[in-house]
Structure 1
Amino acid sequence: MSSRLFIVIPCYNEEEVLPITSKMFLEEMQLLIEKGKISNDSRILFVNDGSKDRTWEIITSLSEKDEHYIGICQSRNRGHQNAVLAGLMESKDICDITISIDCDGQDDIGAMEAMVDAYHDGSEVVYGVRSKRDTDTFFKRFTAESFYKLLNKMGVEAVYNHADYRLISARVLKEFANFKEVNLFLRGMIPLVGFKSTSVYYERHERIAGESHYPLSKMLALAIDGITSLSIKPIRMITGLGIGVSILSFIGVIWAIVSQMTGHAVTGWASTVCLVCFMGGVQLICLGVLGEYIGKIYMEVKARPRYIISERTWDKKEK
């Protein structure tokens, strides 16, 4: 029996690229249906993340033209990770498998077939992994690769060079629904669920149209979220730093006492200023790391909804 697939596509201000890539997604889905790998009641689920342009209008128009297109609209912009989560949670009870992919056409849509094949071979999670980064600038390639290496060093179980292009079975999603974190970093959370997994490798292309919605500032914010949401190593590191500074300070105190007793003490402002600035800098860094964790605890204990759906295209059809 063929599996019912939902392709989950987060969209934010994608009016330029959506008319192009929507056809590509439909062509891939129809190809998989013709080969008998997925059922005809599979769907392409667009998640409008509070777009300010005509994205939602395009999604509703697509849903009226072809039953394979459906969409949900968030009440406001909540970010890429929350948009992906909303689509996955909406899908988990009405499909067999989901594939999450960005709307910009950079990820190889043709890799979906290999993902579905891997699922039929027994894998519950299939990660889409970039085989190379030739299309990236040197700076982006260096920072991205350093990011994954840093995550690994910090104890985060993230798949190297994998973003949010992945297949997840409904079985895994139902277990993942028990993860109630408000601070989301899906590429580090999905591996925590477990189950059999594998990877499919593909080459990433240039964005088809429009502009990237992930500038350096957002990439840095995502990196910080990923580390502080899934690892406590930064706290342990500043603890070790504190111990190291304390030992050096203790040695300095002994040296100062010995110098005073032997009459070799030299009064000077430079050493005092350097010491004060060094200690002040260390303390501020430590407070900043602690503050990041305290802020996340504050967000978690409020337990606010991670997404709110304001509209669904199928609700309009029912009316």
Structure 2
Amino acid sequence: MNKLYLVIPCFNEEEVLGETAKQLKKKMNMLIQSGRISSDSRIVFVNDGSKDGTWTLIEQLHASDALFAGIHLARNRGHQHALLAGLMQVKAHADAVISLDADLQDDIDAIDAFVARHDEGFDIVYGVRRMREKDSWFKRTTAQSFYKLMRLMGAELVYNHADYRLMSRRALEGLAEFGETNLFLRGIVPLIGYPSAVVEYERNERFAGESKYPLKKMLSFALEGITSFSIKPIRMITTLGFLIFAVSLVMLGYFLSLHFAGRTVPGWTTIAISVWAIGGLQLLGIGVIGEYIGKTYLETKARPKFIVERMIGVGSWRDGSGEYADSQLM
């Protein structure tokens, strides 16, 4: 039987953690009792520098049942880094790991299908939303546009897949080989290349609390994905620059012909439009190039992606041992 670990990043999830733990415990115990996974399996909550009582609740859950484990990051690093921290800390202890959110929007009944597909020999199993009827028109439209834009930019994304996925130990070892600081796991995981499958599911409404991805963070996340996996925006600016240069040559010939024909009429409209258009294009180009330079700057610093301050229950079995107090960096 395979040891299955669930990795759940948590940031200020005090309101939902109790119900999440209850439902996940029921699901894991059912899988254990049916003999589909080992009794050494774990539910691992990754506390991403929460300001509320999230870590205290995780400690209480571990004290009540060794099925629960916890990883406490030294500071808030964001969802992608917290998720990577959990995956990297448990990869040596698990045969397979499923990552999911703490808000119960990911259908936990799909875990059965994840396990079944893994048993069939797939190293990576993607959770893909079947439909987006519960989303608002704006969120549905922007999400679909994002996936189409990423594909246009050359990124190998799985359509309608977020971070609900299963990865085998071999796939996690492959993931560990990717050293970039600017993380976009949805784009990195398909690059690993091991056999993969898809499980469709329906996404639920958030159980409680507020979404950790408002519009500002969603736009930032989209920008991170585009600039992390494609240089096409720079190429587009280069192409646009050539087009404008070609147009300028045509206009130069046109204005010279007017000059020699004696029909030159000074006008501020053409000048104003040209100045605003070229100025806007220059600022856009500088911004895009600056984004790439900034990412290169951060990558060259080679700062740790996360610092683990404390771990409880990771790699330990039902006796409840296995607390780690020393900080770990990656």
Aligned to 1:274: 273
Letter of the 1:252 counterpart: M
Q: What SS class does the counterpart of residue 306 from structure 1 fall into? A: coil
Cα distance between partner residues in 2 of 1:254 and 1:191:
51
1:240-279 equivalences under 5 Å are: 240-279=239-278
Cα distance between partner residues in 2 of 1:38 and 1:233:
44
Letter of the 1:78 counterpart: R
1:67-86 equivalences under 5 Å are: 67-86=66-85
The alpha-carbon deviation at position 318 of structure 1 amounts to 5.3
The alpha-carbon deviation at position 124 of structure 1 amounts to 0.5
Letter of the 1:110 counterpart: D
Say if 2:68 and 2:313, in contact at 8 Å, map to a contact too.
Answer: no
Q: What SS class does the counterpart of residue 14 from structure 2 fall into? A: coil
Cα distance between partner residues in 2 of 1:318 and 1:3:
20
Aligned to 1:139: 138
Percent identity, aligned pairs only, is 52
Aligned to 2:164: 165
Cα distance between partner residues in 2 of 1:36 and 1:263:
92
Aligned to 2:154: 155
The alpha-carbon deviation at position 254 of structure 1 amounts to 1.0
Moved over 2 A (4+): 314-319
Residue-by-residue CA offset, 1:221-244 (whole Å, 9 max, x unaligned): 000000000111111111111111
Q: What SS class does the counterpart of residue 181 from structure 1 fall into? A: coil
Say if 2:312 and 2:322, in contact at 8 Å, map to a contact too.
Answer: no
Q: What SS class does the counterpart of residue 167 from structure 2 fall into? A: strand
Q: What SS class does the counterpart of residue 257 from structure 1 fall into? A: helix
Aligned length: 318
Matched, 1:47 2:43: no
Cα distance between partner residues in 2 of 1:181 and 1:43:
28
Residue-by-residue CA offset, 1:197-231 (whole Å, 9 max, x unaligned): 01100001100111111101000000000000011
Q: Which moved more, 1:108-117 or 1:28-37?
A: 28-37
Aligned to 2:222: 223
The alpha-carbon deviation at position 314 of structure 1 amounts to 3.7
Cα RMSD (Å) of the superposition?
A: 1.2
Q: What residue ranges of structure 1 are gaps of 5+ in the alignment? A: none
Letter of the 2:175 counterpart: F
Aligned to 2:184: 185
Cα distance between partner residues in 2 of 1:245 and 1:92:
52
The alpha-carbon deviation at position 311 of structure 1 amounts to 1.1
Matched, 1:119 2:118: yes
Aligned to 2:293: 294
Matched, 1:18 2:1: no
TM-score, normalising length from structure 1?
0.98
Aligned to 2:104: 105
Q: What SS class does the counterpart of residue 15 from structure 2 fall into? A: coil
TM-score, normalising length from structure 2?
0.95
Residue-by-residue CA offset, 1:241-294 (whole Å, 9 max, x unaligned): 111111111111111111111212111111111111111011111111101111
Letter of the 1:199 counterpart: V
Q: What SS class does the counterpart of residue 76 from structure 1 fall into? A: coil
Q: What residue ranges of structure 2 are gaps of 5+ in the alignment? A: 315-319, 324-330
Aligned to 1:304: 303
Residue-by-residue CA offset, 1:33-85 (whole Å, 9 max, x unaligned): 12211100000010000000000000000001111100010000000000000
Aligned to 1:64: 63
Residue-by-residue CA offset, 1:132-173 (whole Å, 9 max, x unaligned): 111111111111111111111111111111000000001011
Cα distance between partner residues in 2 of 1:184 and 1:37:
33
Cα distance between partner residues in 1 of 2:20 and 2:322:
27
Cα distance between partner residues in 2 of 1:35 and 1:188:
35
The alpha-carbon deviation at position 190 of structure 1 amounts to 0.2
